[in-house]
A and B are shown apart, each in its own frame.
With several copies, the nearest count.
Chain A
Amino acid sequence: MTKEYATDFTTKELIASFIAHQVRDGERVAVGAGLHVPRAGILLAHLLYCPNVRLYVVMTFTNLIKEPKMEPFYTVTDFRPAKWAEAYVFHDDFQENPRLVSDMFVVGALQIDKYGNSNLIGVGKDYKRLDFRGPGAVGTLSMAHYVDRYYLYVQSHDRRIFVEQCDFISTIGWGEGGADGRRKLGIPGNGPIYCITPLCIMDFEPTSKRMRLKSVHPGVTVDQVVENTGFELIVPESVPETEPPTIHEIRTLRERIDVEGMLRR
């Protein structure tokens, strides 16, 4: 079956499709409530490619392949999706073995540096007098430490986010760089794989583990990305466009997952 690509899609739908291709069948996958696009991407993977994924949804585990339509949920404490539960997870159980909650994770950030280290603590030089106090690390530090791999995801791409150095590091990416950047610190797992933004997808150059442009979204130029990135990004000679979603993916997103159209706004 050749892929039939869609031509009419939003950047959010494009990103959801990209994320869908990161999920592997049989894995445990945490589905956040707040980040609509990664949520849609993971559910898309589940419905189309990964029927055996164990979805961690509002502190329950479930499987949704028989659900014709996903009703939306906006908070991690919404009890309504728990109607699908196959198991309840006491929240403190996650600390007993974070891998039992998820094999992959999506991490947001206030700041990200060139090695994929990220910050949710706050912005400012003096911790006692922050210019901007962040929300806190939530579970990102522990999850990103224990999972097989994670994905940095931000909803805007500018020089306030992509900085030469984070004011504080709440989640380790590749530390001070190098293929052994994590191993040196005794940190397991494969670390951040991609950094996903509204402009592009970035990966990490294998030797230096510095962030590298992998693909730009339709309509975005390489210069635009470089200009909006506060550190020196590795830019290969040719940078492709991000692979578009298929017609089937877009149909599934719109008819079964994003029925309320949040990804089309």
Chain B
Amino acid sequence: MIPERKSLIIDERQAAAMIRDGMTIAIGGFINSSHPMAIVRQIIRRGVKDLTVVGPASGGLDLDLLIGAGCVKKLVTAYMGGEHYCPIAPLFRVAAERGEIDVWECDEGMFYCALRAAAQGLPFTPWKAGIGTSFPQVNPDLKVFTDPINGEPLLAVPAIKPEIALIYAAHADPYGNVQHIGTGFGDRAMWRAAGKTIVQVEKIIPNEEVRKNPLATSIYGADAIVRAPYGSHPFAAPGYYIEDEEHIREYVAAANAYAKKGDRRPFEAYLHKYIMEPETHADYLEVIGIKRLISLHEY
């Protein structure tokens, strides 16, 4: 009798149920691409609070949505915006200005220093860029110290260890071998640093397919896999779909109504229609409609 490998596939509700109030979680992707939105929306649905969110090195509107929905206490990222859709994320901006969230101010270099320290089990890793800037002042976690080799002033960037990383990728087999299409941005760095990693994928592929291109395996050993087609919507998914410009503009308009005019109703309506009302990711896709979804395939 040949023993069998255990499938690691769970659904987005089981994944989101692992995220508890006050946790430190990482969310993968980059600005307008590759976010595990099926899980993110389920986290909002569950009303999780006080999260420390380690965004990608440069964060996008997925994090803005989490802030607007009241899930976030502290944010670790070097940028918050939607590029040409909105240069600065609207709800991030007002929440930061009002002190409703803490921002762990950093640049992308420091961001990876913090993740690497966590991955390496070190209290910190050093960085040179930042000496002479305001970073050590606005982020007191960054300590200026004298390097023991040449006596130079350096920045000690302390470890930030996500308890769970939530990653989006194109494919995985049932056993946790994950393959991105494209570069995968900084997702590997999050996986290396995190205690556990849950990867939401467009498609489950057989282990035999994984073995055809082992170099493409970006994360060898996710702890759980969530299958969610169109799961990065409204953001892009390399090799699958481009971002849903219309939906993103709808979000930005709703968020701006609050950020710029103090009218929270359009954002609440957005939350209700796209997140609270649909019970599952599949229900969400029904709200978006297959017509819109397949229109995004055009490359």
Contact = CB atoms under 8 A, between A and B. Distances in A.
Q: Do chains A and B touch in the complex (CB under 8 A)?
A: yes
Interface in A135-193: 135-142, 144-146, 168-172, 175, 185-188
A170 to B, nearest CB: 6
B295 interface: no
Interface residues of A, number: 71
Interface of B: 2-6, 29-34, 56-58, 77-81, 83-84, 87-89, 92-94, 96-99, 103, 105-110, 112-113, 115-116, 119-121, 127-135, 137-138, 152-153, 173, 175, 177, 181-186, 188-189, 192-193, 207, 210-211, 214-215, 217, 220-221, 236, 238-239, 242-243, 299
Nearest to A173: B132
Given A60-B214, A130-B96, A92 B105 contact: no
Nearest to B185: A91
Nearest to B173: A86
Given A130-B97, A142-B107, 13 more contacts: A77-B29, A79-B33, A80-B242, A86-B214, A90-B184, A90-B188, A98-B109, A100-B192, A100-B220, A121-B105, A127-B138, A137-B106, A168-B137
A141 B109 contact: yes
A74 B81 CA distance: 13
Contact of B57 (A66, A129, A139, A145): A139
Contacts of B152: 186
Which residue of B192, B193, B243 has the most chain A CB atoms within 10 A of its CB atom? B192
A114 interface: no
Interface string A89-133: 111101111111000000000000000000101100001111111
Contacts of A92: 57, 112, 115, 186, 188-189
A134 to B, nearest CB: 7
Interface stretch (A51-59, A198-206, A218-226, A239-247): A51-59
A6 interface: no
B106 to A, nearest CB: 7
A91 B55 CA distance: 14
